[in-house]
Amino acid sequence: MSLDIDDYIAKEVHACEYTLDDYTTEPARWCKGCGAHGALGAVQRMLRENNEAPENVITVSGIGCSSRFPHYLKTYGFHTLHGRALPVSVGVSLARPEMKLLTVMGDGDCFSIGGNHWLHTLRYNINATVIILDNEIYALTKKQASPTSRQGTMSNTSPRGSYLEPLNPLSIVLGVTNLSFVAQTASWLPGHMQATLDRAWKHKGLAFVRILQRCPVFMPDAFSGASAEFPAQFLEHCSGITPDKGILRNAPTVAHDPSDINAAQKIAANAHKDLEPLGLLYLNTEVPTYNEVRYSHVQQSDKFAKAELLNQYLDSYAIGNPNEEG
């Protein structure tokens, strides 16, 4: 990192019209030590560095601890229903293509109750940054096993340990057609998280970002307690995300070309037994967005042209054989 004072001034004073306060509403009410605080800060810094006017950003969330996100971020926001952030995001995206869209969900929210929307919205490839704050537990409802809870997780619905192997979200995502961006990062790696969010934000299409995030109250031991011991590997490529390793300074770096879907699927499939991949797993900048696909067929015209056309349609239902007249 350069410490050139001119660069610093250019970045901090001239380029950024906004301060972090411009993206802040009130102190977040998450628990002390919750990884969501870090994710919120990273999003705010990312917005500032991208010089986004707060009024041009829409944050949509589902229900759960993570879905309180829009309340603490000073943008337009819609805190929707459990599992349903993505359908609302599709509607927002179709309605206002010019706005920037951030969708925030938790692991139960997205992978369980919202599973159907998750698969299909990836296929739509709406233009949105979709982040999943995955703490491997249902926390707001006080500790029930989530789809990503490790086998044997003690919870209020699995007091003798959860029975099944966890769901592997990366493998599932990497099997969906029209996929355009998949990355994974962790909330206790602020540099890497911020770089990942920045790449996702700049991506045209649906950028799916899973953020591993420790719940200090109900799941403190997940991700090796977010310690330096967490078994991870950083993915590196010239088109990828710079491995800013932070506390995981001893984690290995592996070369991975994010355009190689088969390699990405292989890494994802082995994530649980091997090392959790951090970085850009998959990138395809050629996939058209849902708006591009749909609006390329939509005719734009003024109200008088539309009225004229509607009159023609009504005439086609007129009795007395209007087709010969018209």
- Give the residues lining the site for other proteins (CB under 8 A): 53-56, 58-60, 63, 70-71, 74-81, 84, 86-96, 98-99, 116-117, 119-120, 294-295, 297-304, 306-307, 309-311, 313-315, 317-321, 323
Of 99 and 261, nearer to other proteins (C-beta) is 99
In this structure, the dihedral spanned by the alpha carbons of residues 149, 154, 159 and 163, taken in order and rounded to 10 degrees, is 40
Measured CA to CA in angstroms, residue 306 lies from 100, 313, 316 at distances of 29, 11, 15
Rounded-to-integer distance, Cα 302 and Cα 24, Å: 40
In the complex, what is the shortest distance from the CB of residue 50 to other proteins, in angstroms, rounded to a whole number?
Answer: 17
Of 2 and 299, nearer to other proteins (C-beta) is 299
In the complex, what is the shortest distance from the CB of residue 282 to other proteins, in angstroms, rounded to a whole number?
Answer: 22
Of 266 and 294, nearer to other proteins (C-beta) is 294
Of 93 and 148, nearer to other proteins (C-beta) is 93
Q: Is 7 helix (H, G, I), strand (E, B) or coil?
A: helix
In the complex, what is the shortest distance from the CB of residue 14 to other proteins, in angstroms, rounded to a whole number?
Answer: 21
In the complex, what is the shortest distance from the CB of residue 24 to other proteins, in angstroms, rounded to a whole number?
Answer: 11
Rounded to a whole number of angstroms, the distance between the first and last alpha carbons of the chain is 71
Residue 161: which region, alpha, beta or left (left: phi > 0; alpha: psi -120 to 50)? left
In the complex, what is the shortest distance from the CB of residue 260 to other proteins, in angstroms, rounded to a whole number?
Answer: 28
In the complex, what is the shortest distance from the CB of residue 53 to other proteins, in angstroms, rounded to a whole number?
Answer: 7
Of 250 and 299, nearer to other proteins (C-beta) is 299
Of 16 and 228, nearer to other proteins (C-beta) is 16
In the complex, what is the shortest distance from the CB of residue 264 to other proteins, in angstroms, rounded to a whole number?
Answer: 24
Following DSSP, what letter does each residue of 220-257 receive, concatenated?
TTHHHHHSTT--EEEEE-TTS-----TT-TTS-EEE--
In the structure encoding, which two tokens stand for residue 12, read together? Answer: 């901090």
In the complex, what is the shortest distance from the CB of residue 11 to other proteins, in angstroms, rounded to a whole number?
Answer: 24
Rounded-to-integer distance, Cα 306 and Cα 203, Å: 35
Beta strand 137-138 with 144-145: parallel, antiparallel or unpaired? Answer: antiparallel
In the complex, what is the shortest distance from the CB of residue 232 to other proteins, in angstroms, rounded to a whole number?
Answer: 33
Of 54 and 246, nearer to other proteins (C-beta) is 54
Of 273 and 297, nearer to other proteins (C-beta) is 297
190 sits in which H/E element: helix 190-202
Measured CA to CA in angstroms, residue 255 lies from 55, 199, 233 at distances of 39, 18, 10
Candidates 209, 207, 208, 205; CA nearest to 288 is: 205
Of 50 and 259, nearer to other proteins (C-beta) is 50
Rounded-to-integer distance, Cα 214 and Cα 133, Å: 9
Rounded-to-integer distance, Cα 69 and Cα 195, Å: 19
